[in-house]
């Protein structure tokens, strides 16, 4: 039997796609940076299916590329040839258990993030991982990229929300670390090997995730600030005055706001005047005993007295809150409409963000005319310093001529400041050279040792990351 016949035998005729036209949506990536090829797309329905697929591929000499919602930004889920099988986890999508006593959810890897939000909300519970792609990205992809998003400041990254994992190893064996235990000091924390591994060490098939009581109140403000030092000072003030209930603290430059208002319909700008620096700040609380409203008002009063905030809008309704969030979450879409950006995802110590922002333009002089769309999770020290062609210039030509120069300049600056060139989007194919350049040699060597030990034949997502 051929590989495809063996896979059809296992998964049924609807579980294997081998026609090019049908495979096509799985082969291109979110940013259209890569056009992949594969022997076929396999769609397992169970953990045992995944293990069998890996065993069959191993026996037939094929590599395996795991894929979740295919929303990743670095080409990690793009297959690279006729000897690779793309394993898409979409049909492995059951919420196995929600435990309202232990505050955990046991979910399969293919559960779409937004579907998990709804499932736990039905029980008055809350899963805090949140990002613009949540209607498509999957829990397995979130964990494999150790995704960040909009509430890391309060709740942590995807990896920090995982208590246990179930993983199919390159050998085809099942690693069962699917535990809800919050404390378990019985040797190496094996699950952490697979968080951020981008499918290079195994396929995550299920996870136990931390849940929280659903917030009963949100206080959401859109604020104008005179400079970026004030942005950092406001974050510190808000955290101290609010008893650390600041959930999100997102930075939006005027240029990013202008892209949104220029390209997205139905956006209501919070201010009539232009402000160079803006912040979307949200406080949330699980307890309705005392409203957070006086707290947020007192933060804003003190911030204004100290000259940290020059103007502000405080959402008066859930509708207004959603409108404010829509502005922030529309930035990636607006950049797409503007001809796409060269994306960056750097992090530095929060207090050094102003220094990074002051130095970056000097590093970019070599690329000629450009527009910078700067925004992101400043509460985590993570900025998207995205670079676009100047208005009227050809965006495709700009990217082909300047993407590499802009990225090396901005990544180099982050490295010089003790930061990271990839805070939340990962490595994939796109940033392999940066990893080789910026990761310290001992750490890189240890990564290679781990890869070799778990996947000696390089069959699990080859050509990615290392």
Rounded to a whole number of angstroms, the minimum distance from the CB of residue 334 to ligand FAD is 11
Q: CB nearer to ligand FAD: give 341 or 461.
A: 461
Name the residues that contact ligand FAD, by CB under 6 A.
Answer: 30, 65-73, 76-77, 89, 109, 131-133, 137-138, 140-142, 144-145, 147-149, 198-199, 203-204, 332, 424-425, 428, 461, 464
Q: Which does 80 bind (CB under 5 to 8 A by kind): ligand FAD, ligand MLT, none?
A: none
| Measured torsion, CA atoms of residues 191, 414, 345, 462, in degrees rounded to the nearest 10 | -50
Q: CB nearer to ligand FAD: give 334 or 372.
A: 334
**Between helices 353-363 and 228-241, what is the axis angle to 10°?**
160
Q: CB nearer to ligand MLT: give 76 or 376.
A: 376
Measured CA to CA, the distance from residue 156 to residue 152 in angstroms comes to 4
Q: Which does 324 bind (CB under 5 to 8 A by kind): ligand MLT, ligand FAD, none?
A: none
Q: Which does 68 bind (CB under 5 to 8 A by kind): ligand FAD, ligand MLT, none?
A: ligand FAD
Q: CB nearer to ligand MLT: give 106 or 323.
A: 323
Using Cβ positions, the residue closest to ligand MLT within the complex turns out to be 332
- 337 within 8 A of 395, measured Cβ to Cβ: no
Q: CB nearer to ligand FAD: give 109 or 231.
A: 109
Which positions ≥6 away from 409 have C-beta within 8 Å?
A: 360, 363, 364, 366, 367
Q: Are strands 346-347 and 277-285 parallel, antiparallel or unpaired?
A: unpaired
Which one of residues 102, 132, 180, 354 is an interface residue with ligand MLT (CB under 6 A)? 132
Measured CA to CA, the distance from residue 381 to residue 420 in angstroms comes to 10
Rounded to a whole number of angstroms, the minimum distance from the CB of residue 67 to ligand MLT is 19
Question: Does 332 contact ligand MLT by CB under 6 A?
Answer: yes
Rounded to a whole number of angstroms, the minimum distance from the CB of residue 369 to ligand FAD is 27
Site string for ligand MLT, 382-421 (x = CB under 6 A): --x-------------------------------------
Measured CA to CA, the distance from residue 37 to residue 26 in angstroms comes to 9
Which one of residues 154, 321, 340, 343 is an interface residue with ligand MLT (CB under 6 A)? 343
CB atoms inside a 10 Å sphere around CB 348: 22
Q: Which does 89 bind (CB under 5 to 8 A by kind): ligand FAD, ligand MLT, none?
A: ligand FAD
Site string for ligand MLT, 251-290 (x = CB under 6 A): ----------------------------------------
- Largest Cα separation within the chain, whole Å, is 76
> Residue 270 to residues 222, 277, 278: CA-CA distances in angstroms?
7, 13, 10
Name 372's bridge partners. 387
Site string for ligand MLT, 22-51 (x = CB under 6 A): ------------------------------
Three-state SS for 236-260 is HHHHHHCCCCEEEEEEEEHHHHHHH
Q: For the chain, how far is it from start to end, CA to CA, in angstroms?
A: 33
Q: Tell me the number of residues near ligand MLT by CB under 6 A.
A: 6
Rounded to a whole number of angstroms, the minimum distance from the CB of residue 51 to ligand MLT is 32
Residues in the chain: 466
- 178 within 8 A of 206, measured Cβ to Cβ: yes
- The CB-based long-range contact list for 61-67 (8 Å cut-off, 24+ gap) reads 62/3, 62/459, 63/458, 63/459, 63/460, 63/461, 63/462, 64/170, 64/203, 64/459, 64/460, 64/461, 65/38, 65/199, 65/461, 66/140, 66/144, 66/199, 66/203, 66/204, 66/460, 66/461, 67/26, 67/141
Q: Which does 384 bind (CB under 5 to 8 A by kind): ligand FAD, ligand MLT, none?
A: ligand MLT
Q: Which does 376 bind (CB under 5 to 8 A by kind): ligand FAD, ligand MLT, none?
A: ligand MLT
Measured CA to CA, the distance from residue 139 to residue 123 in angstroms comes to 19
Which one of residues 215, 376, 379, 428 is an interface residue with ligand MLT (CB under 6 A)? 376
Q: Which does 343 bind (CB under 5 to 8 A by kind): ligand FAD, ligand MLT, none?
A: ligand MLT
Map the footprint of ligand MLT across residues 312-331, applying CB under 6 A: 331
What residue ranges bind ligand MLT (CB under 6 A)? 132, 331-332, 343, 376, 384
């Amino acid at each position: 039997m051929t590989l495809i016949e063996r896979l059809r035998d296992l998964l049924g005729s609807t579980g294997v796609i081998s026609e090019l036209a049908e495979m096509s949506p799985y082969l291109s990536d979110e940013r259209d940076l890569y056009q992949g090829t594969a022997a076929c797309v396999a769609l397992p329905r169970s953990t045992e299916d995944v293990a069998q697929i890996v065993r069959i591929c191993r026996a037939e000499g094929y590599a395996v590329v795991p894929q979740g919602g295919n929303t990743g930004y670095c080409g990690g889920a793009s297959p690279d040839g006729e000897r690779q099988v793309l394993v898409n986890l979409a049909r492995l999508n059951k919420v196995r258990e929600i435990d309202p006593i232990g505050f955990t959810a046991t979910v399969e890897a293919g559960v779409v993030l937004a579907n998990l939000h709804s499932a736990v909300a039905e029980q008055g519970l809350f899963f805090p991982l949140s990002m613009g792609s949540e209607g498509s990205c999957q829990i397995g992809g979130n964990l494999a990229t150790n995704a960040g998003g909009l509430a890391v400041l309060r709740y942590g990254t995807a990896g920090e929300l995982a208590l246990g994992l179930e993983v199919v190893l390159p050998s085809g064996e099942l690693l069962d670390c699917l535990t809800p235990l919050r404390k378990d000091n019985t040797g190496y924390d094996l699950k952490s090997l697979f968080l951020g591994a981008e499918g290079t060490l195994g396929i995550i098939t299920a996870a136990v995730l931390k849940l929280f009581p659903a917030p009963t109140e949100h206080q959401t403000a859109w604020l104008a600030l005179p400079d970026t030092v004030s942005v950092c000072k406001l974050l510190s003030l808000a955290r101290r005055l609010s008893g650390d209930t600041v959930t999100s603290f997102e930075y939006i430059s005027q240029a990013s706001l202008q892209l949104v208002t220029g390209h997205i319909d139905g956006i209501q700008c919070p201010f009539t005047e232009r402000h160079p620096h803006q912040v979307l700040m949200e406080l949330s609380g699980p307890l309705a005993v005392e409203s957070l409203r006086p707290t947020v008002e007192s933060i804003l009063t003190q911030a204004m007295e100290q000259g940290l905030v020059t103007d502000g809008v405080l959402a008066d309704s859930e509708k207004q809150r959603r409108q404010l969030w829509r502005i922030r979450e529309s930035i990636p879409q607006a950049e797409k409409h503007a001809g796409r950006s060269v994306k960056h995802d750097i992090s530095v110590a929060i207090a050094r963000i102003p220094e990074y922002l002051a130095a970056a333009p000097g590093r970019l002089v070599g690329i000629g005319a450009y527009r910078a769309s700067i925004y992101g999770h400043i509460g985590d020290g993570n900025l998207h310093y995205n670079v676009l062609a100047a208005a009227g210039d050809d965006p495709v030509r700009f990217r082909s001529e300047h993407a590499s120069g802009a990225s090396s300049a901005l990544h180099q600056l982050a490295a010089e400041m003790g930061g990271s060139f990839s805070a939340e989007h990962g490595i994939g194919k796109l940033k392999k050279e940066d990893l080789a350049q910026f990761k310290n040699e001992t750490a890189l060597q240890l990564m290679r040792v781990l890869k070799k030990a778990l996947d000696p034949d390089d069959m699990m997502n080859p050509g990615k990351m290392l």
